[in-house]
Amino acid sequence: GAGVSQSPRYKVAKRGQDVALRCDPISGHVSLFWYQQALGQGPEFLTYFQNEAQLDKSGLPSDRFFAERPEGSVSTLKIQRTQQEDSAVYLCASSLEGTGAYTEAFFGQGTRLTVV
C-alpha cells in the first residue's frame, strides 16, 4: 500500500477487556516496529520484528502485551486484561531494511486506545 495502515483508529475498552490492534506495513518492508505514545510524551519503543522474527521485545511493559507477525507482513499487538494505564496511542512503523544500514522508518497514524 501507499503507507502504513493501522486499525482501528480509535478503540474504547472496558478495564479487563482484551484488545487487538492491527498494522499493515508498507509492502516489502522487512522491519516493523510498535511504539506506545502516552499523552504529552514522545513515542516509546515496544517491540521490533524483522520479517516474522520478533528480534526485540524489551519495551513491552508487561506480559499482558503480546505482538506477532506470523507471515512477515501484517502485525497484531494484543493487550490482555487492559488497564487504565494502557490508554495511549499505539504507533506502528515499518522500514525497508533488515540487516545492514539503517533506513527511514515510516509511521502509521496510530490507534488511540482509551481504557475506561
Partner 1 sequence: AQSVSQHNHHVILSEAASLELGCNYSYGGTVNLFWYVQYPGQHLQLLLKYFSGDPLVKGIKGFEAEFIKSKFSFNLRKPSVQWSDTAEYFCAVNAHIGSARQLTFGSGTQLTVLP
How many angstroms separate the Cα of 14 from the Cα of each of 34, 69, 83, 84, 99? 22, 26, 8, 9, 40
The DSSP bridge partners found for residue 44 are 36
Smaller CB separation from partner 1, 25 or 110: 110
Site for partner 1 in 44-63 (CB under 8 A): 44-45, 48, 50, 55-56, 59
CB 9 within 8 A of CB 109: yes
CA distance 113 to 88: 5
Residues of span 10-29 touching partner 1 by CB under 8 A: none
* The C-alpha cell that represents 27 in the structure block: 509492502
Minimal CA–CA distance to 56: which of 65, 47, 64? 47
42 near partner 1 (CB under 8 A)? yes
Q: Is 114 in the site for partner 1 (CB under 8 A)?
A: no
Residues in 70-109 at the binding interface with partner 1, rule: CB under 8 A? 91, 93, 95, 97, 99, 102, 104-109
Binding site for partner 1 (CB under 8 A): 3-4, 31, 33, 35, 40-45, 48, 50, 55-56, 59, 91, 93, 95, 97, 99, 102, 104-110
